[in-house]
Amino acid sequence: MKDILLFFLVIGIHFFMIEYPLRHGRVFRAERIKGSIAGYGITAFLDSLFCLIFGYSVITLGILTGVFFVFGVVNYFIYRFHGTPFTVGEVKNFRTAMAVAGSYSFVMPLKMAAGEAVLLLCAVAILVFNKDGSFSRLYSLGLLGFFAIIVFLSFFSPRPFVKKKLVIRSWEPVIDRYGYIPPFLRQTVSELKGPMEKPEGYDREKTKSFIEDQVFIEDQKTEERSSGRKPDIIFILNETFYDMGSLTDIKADRDVLENYRSIEGAISGRTVAARIGGGTNVSEYECLTANSMDLMSHVATPFNVVNLNGANTVLTYLKSMGYKTCATHPGETFSYRRNVAYPAMGFDGITFGKDYKDPGYYGHRTDYITDSSMYDNLIRWYEEAASGDDPVFFYGLTIQNHGDWNVNPEDDIIVHSGRDFGKYTRIVNEFLSCISLSDEAFLKLTEYFKKTDRDVVIVMTGDHSPSFVNERDFRDITGTDDLLKLCSTPYIIWSNRELARPAGCETISMPFLLPVAFEAAGMKLSPYMDFLTKLRQEVPVFPGNDEDVLPEEKRELLSRYYSFEYLNYSEPNVTREFWLV
């Protein structure tokens, strides 16, 4: 009996080794009993399984203790720097993580480090005290069965402890409610089922019939809805381009978005990212495909899990009008498998960091090419692509503002906040300095294209907020828990010709951004782009699997969109005509 009781105690230590760092040292705060039972049950199931396979011994439990301890520490840094904790899908991002790891400072706060050390010492003390303890594999099998029942009740019963659909735009409230371990299992099961979940009430034939009807209707009014303009389009997805002033009064010694706010004739607003504090590839996917992440796991990396060969995307629409398409990213070719995803989507010309001429850097941030340097190279490649008469779509993903933001010495910091953010003040100042440089570089880009004879539209938005804004300690300082503010980034649409501001574009989800730009430029819209326009006017921000908050008529429209998205994913040939002009 003593051995079993001590085994239960060791399981509890393993459970806390995982949960303690992600709860910012406040394990008992706002913790729901059912979520804790589920998390403990999963941990106990794993420990019992290993004891059944390898036998109960101090060596088996010692190895498990080491694994849980290391995982807990590593997961803390993944959550802190990436904005989301570890999930199974993140394994495919290992090389990407290693490519940027050098810019981060891997120092755990004293409270969390001490807590993990105490848990480790307690586990070692128990194992040493009970070094000769043992029980038979029959006991292990019985314990495994007992904990399997707990896991079943928690996740797979008709009334599970843990919701079947977890809205994870931010992990913070989910971890507060359930801890980390139960949502981790939910996400793992979701990822194993496939990248996209069939929407509730999906009817293939009704969706197909709607598409055919919509194509016919749009064909009747093709000449009514636009001027047929075909401008060159430059779309900049700007790494961590975020307005901290939307959260709180930062009292900076300069307006870091001065040019963004003052460029004449531009359309500006906010785009809502699917995640807070991370998820560049998610924003790329939503913008370039016009697909919402609502049917996918919000922690998935789309380029890793979605087969984009033959997929219909924004490029499908543009190429139907004769556009050349180019893409550039001043980072590694393998990051998020962009070297595979970009050509699969149909980009004709693709360049990465290794292709850049005279790359520039900001201070000691030598892992990240500046926006200004990227724009210089983009202009060079744009001029080559625009040498003929065909319109050009050029996509650029920047990297200058990537975290961490405590790399430069004080002499290189150009913007200072007049507010005390405690341990974050140094980070905030470097981040604001990066944003100021982005703002200046964008003005330079528009000044260049003012002088060209070609019709040009430039679209820019931030991909997500910086990871530190979602840390509990920072949110306590700013007093902000507004998820919309935490995941909204500034966007701007500028042209050297006239633009018409579309209705209902002040705050929009990422998939609507390029369709808004097409509409503002007076381009001929495909049936699908026209449908997205109508959807945006009714549902400008996707609810993230929480569509019950919408009125019934808006839910029906959103349901139609989800059905189309699923058919577009599963049978792109059936939906292709919907994209074409």
pLDDT tens, position by position, 404-429: 999 999 999 999 999 999 999 999 99
pLDDT at 29: 45
pLDDT at 30: 41
Cβ neighbors of 142 (< 8 A, separation 6 or more) are none
Q: How far apart are the first and last CA of the chain?
A: 74
Q: Give helix 181-193 / helix 171-178 axis angle, nearest 10°.
A: 120
Half-sphere exposure of residue 384: CA atoms within 13 angstroms, side-chain side: 9
pLDDT tens, position by position, 41-59: 999 999 999 988 988 888 8
Q: What would the mean pLDDT of 114-138 be, rounded to a whole number?
A: 86
Q: Among 35, 287, 266, 11, which residue's Cα sits nearest to residue 122?
A: 11
pLDDT tens, position by position, 12-44: 999 999 998 887 545 544 446 778 888 999 999
Residue 190 scores a pLDDT above 70: yes
| pLDDT grade for 546, boundaries at 50, 70 and 90 | low
Residue 570 scores a pLDDT above 60: yes
| pLDDT grade for 561, boundaries at 50, 70 and 90 | very high
Q: CATH homologous superfamily for 231-579? A: Alkaline Phosphatase, subunit A (3.40.720.10)
Q: Which residue has the higher pLDDT, 342 or 195?
A: 342
Report the alpha-carbon angle 512-79-188, nearest 5. Answer: 75
Q: What percent of the chain has pLDDT over 70?
A: 90
The chain-wide mean pLDDT, for the chain, equals: 88
pLDDT at 168: 57
Q: What would the mean pLDDT of 242-270 be, rounded to a whole number?
A: 95
Cβ neighbors of 154 (< 8 A, separation 6 or more) are 34, 37, 38, 41, 42, 160, 161, 162, 182
Q: What would the mean pLDDT of 510-515 be, rounded to a whole number?
A: 98
Cβ neighbors of 225 (< 8 A, separation 6 or more) are 218, 524, 525, 530
Residue 242 scores a pLDDT above 60: yes
Q: What would the mean pLDDT of 273-300 be, rounded to a whole number?
A: 89
Residue 101 · residue 108 · CB < 8 Å: no
Lowest mean pLDDT of 31-35, 81-85, 173-177, 194-198, name the range.
Answer: 31-35
Classify 265 in phi/psi space as left (phi over 0), alpha (psi -120 to 50) or beta: left
pLDDT at 502: 95
> Which residue do the tokens 């009008």 mark?
321
Residue 461 · residue 241 · CB < 8 Å: yes
Q: pTM value?
A: 0.85
Residue 83 scores a pLDDT above 90: no
Half-sphere exposure of residue 107: CA atoms within 13 angstroms, side-chain side: 7
Most confident range (mean pLDDT) of 107-121, 150-164, 219-233, 441-455 is 441-455
Report the alpha-carbon angle 472-476-479, nearest 5. Answer: 125
Residue 572 scores a pLDDT above 80: yes
- Report strand pairing: 267-272 vs 488-495: antiparallel
Half-sphere exposure of residue 252: CA atoms within 13 angstroms, side-chain side: 23
Residue 268 scores a pLDDT above 90: yes
5 exposure class (CB count in 10 Å sphere: 0-12, 13-18, 19+): exposed
Torsion of CA 567, 572, 577, 581, to 10 degrees: 110
Q: Among 2, 15, 1, which residue's Cα sits nearest to residue 47?
A: 15
Residue 501 scores a pLDDT above 50: yes
- Which residues belong to CATH 3.40.720.10 in the chain? 231-579
Q: What would the mean pLDDT of 109-119 be, rounded to a whole number?
A: 88
pLDDT tens, position by position, 432-444: 999 999 999 999 9
Q: DSSP letters along 61-127, please? A: HHHHHHHHHHHHHHHHHHHHHHSS---GGGGGGHHHHHHHGGGS-----HHHHHHHHHHHHHHHHHH
pLDDT at 157: 85
Exposure string over 512-521, b if 16+ CB within 10 A, otherwise e: bbbbbbbbbb
Q: Residue 341 CA to chain centroid, in angstroms?
A: 16
Lowest mean pLDDT of 126-140, 239-253, 363-377, 564-578, name the range.
Answer: 126-140
> Which residue do the tokens 């709607």 mark?
210
Lowest mean pLDDT of 22-36, 192-206, 539-553, name the range.
Answer: 22-36
Peptide bond into 404 cis (omega under 30): yes
pLDDT at 96: 63
